[in-house]
Structure 1
């Protein structure tokens, strides 16, 4: 599947091809978003499958009011929130280790340790701050896109980002991060 398929034309494709496109283009991003909520790799995979099923079933309802990416984020976030509200998640132990990209041996341990500290600090934030910090600074979504993905007012998103950064700074012992 070509990566340069235009999003406007995607709905003209068969559903199976659309799902393959979504997996290839957005799969890892969606899994990372899910992980920030559930903090468990096996649950991340399970919820990702549920997201794909819901997406497949809902493709006919996608109107294009937002981008495909924003729509997928909204589905993923809602699935995570459903999971967190369910009693089953309390039975599964949480894994607090952050997702790590493969690192080369040449990279320093100091940088790796700093990333772990920041990731743990982000994961320790309340969910309403964690989600906006991840979407804004790790997924590079605009305030408007975050607002659409979370179905929340833009001014609320801005406030949560400010408060999230303040809490993050406090969790990091007064150090600010980029």
Structure 2
């Protein structure tokens, strides 16, 4: 028996839905491998100027240690509303590599400012010594737009329109 491919061809509607989920997310579920086992935690979520996922995480968090050891990870964005079946609401899994942004890098000041525009309350702790910006370089995205609406998107499919 052959397994049927569940993914539809990617179209403009799927790209727009995926981009909308990324652009409007304020948090995400982050999946990492921690000491050889899967682990999931909730993180703050923003985007860099190019639309790539961006977060601010603490060195005190176990997921930070896990990402340093193994930067391959996944993010889940898109939350169900209070109404209806949660499985009918769109969600997007981003398979990515975590890239820590050093404070002394040329790009850090601009990313810091951009992050604070999206998450102004982070001003309280963004400069604490244990917090670092991390960008997630997406390799592949799996979009579930509701029943019967599954798509496999590339990083290029998620690129913001100029």
**Structure 1 and Structure 2 fold alike (TM over 0.5):** no
Taking structure 1 as the reference length, what is the TM-score of the superposition?
Answer: 0.28
Taking structure 2 as the reference length, what is the TM-score of the superposition?
Answer: 0.29
Kindly indicate which of the two structures has a greater share of residues assigned to helix: 1
The one of the two structures with greater contact order (alpha-carbon pairs below 8 A, sep at least 6) is: 2
Kindly indicate which of the two structures has a greater share of residues assigned to strand: 2
